[in-house]
Amino acid sequence: MNKIYTGKTKDVYEIDEKNVLLKFKDDVTGKDGVFDPGENQVGLQIEGAGRSAVAMTKFFYEKLNAMGLNTHYVSANVDKNEAVVKKAKVFGQGVEVIVRYRAVGSFIRRYGSYIESGTKIPPYVEVTLKDDDKNDPLITKDALAILNIMTEEEYEELAKLALQIGEVVKNELAKKELELYDIKFEFGMVDGKVALIDEISGGNMRAYKGEEYIEPLKLEKIMLG
């Protein structure tokens, strides 16, 4: 298989015209040795991180597919750190979609003059551009349309889907008495429709048990162990 992309936390191989293989690595994003899903750089390696991410991805995506929500997911092999997904066309050079339930992370870095860190907020969706050099800038629905990254209709579809999927993840965590503070998704076009792509794992979300932040590997153990 041809490797067609080398990512920060996974590599992508071409299977055929319609499908690609995601090979998960043990690298996670963070800074100065501390995990941070909002960071752009690979900050540390955690043994088992790849396997954990595939297991979580399989768990959540099978639920989403069963619910009829649009995703790129086909199947996964947890023991091989692999997932098969449909090919997707990303928006522009790629966008990230964050759903927030508490004001933390970059929300506080931007708006900390208006709200205390950790405050509960109504479910809130925002889109940032994947652009490491520019620190993943926030972008509005209007600017996405002007820059031909996505139409207003695609934005509305994406925001609705992000809220629905966020709710599924939030509810699954709640079953284990965990609280989802925020989660970062990627979306693209799959078979002509807006669909969730990439992984869903501890590395994409902030989960808390009471006051305690739950690290990705521990989160997977609580969720699936």
Interacting residues with a copy of itself (CB under 8 A):
92-93, 107, 109-115, 121-122, 124-126, 129, 131, 133-134, 137-143, 146-149
Nearer to a copy of itself, 6 or 93 (CB): 93
Name the minimum Å distance from CB 199 to a copy of itself: 24
Burial of 125 by CB count in 10 Å (0-12 exposed, 13-18 middle, 19+ buried)? middle
CA distance 175 to 154: 32
Check if the beta carbon of residue 97 is closer than 8 Å to that of residue 125: yes
Q: Buried b / exposed e across 11-23, counting CB within 10 Å, b at 16+?
A: ebeeeeeeebbbb
CB nearer to a copy of itself: give 39 or 131: 131
**108: part of which helix (H) or strand (E)?**
helix 106-111
Nearest CB to a copy of itself, comparing residues 112 and 118:
112
Nearer of residues 1 and 121 to a copy of itself, judged by Cβ: 121
CB of 145 to a copy of itself, least distance (A): 9
Q: Are 166 and 132 in contact (CB under 8 A)?
A: no
Which of 4, 5, 44, 3 is CA-nearest to residue 26? Answer: 44
Q: How near is the Cβ of 100 to a copy of itself at its closest, in Å?
A: 9
Q: In angstroms, give the least distance from the CB of 142 to a copy of itself.
A: 6
Q: How far is the CB of 104 from a copy of itself (least distance, A)?
A: 14
Contact 165, 148 (CB under 8 A): no
Q: Which is nearer to a copy of itself, 15 or 90 (CB)?
A: 90
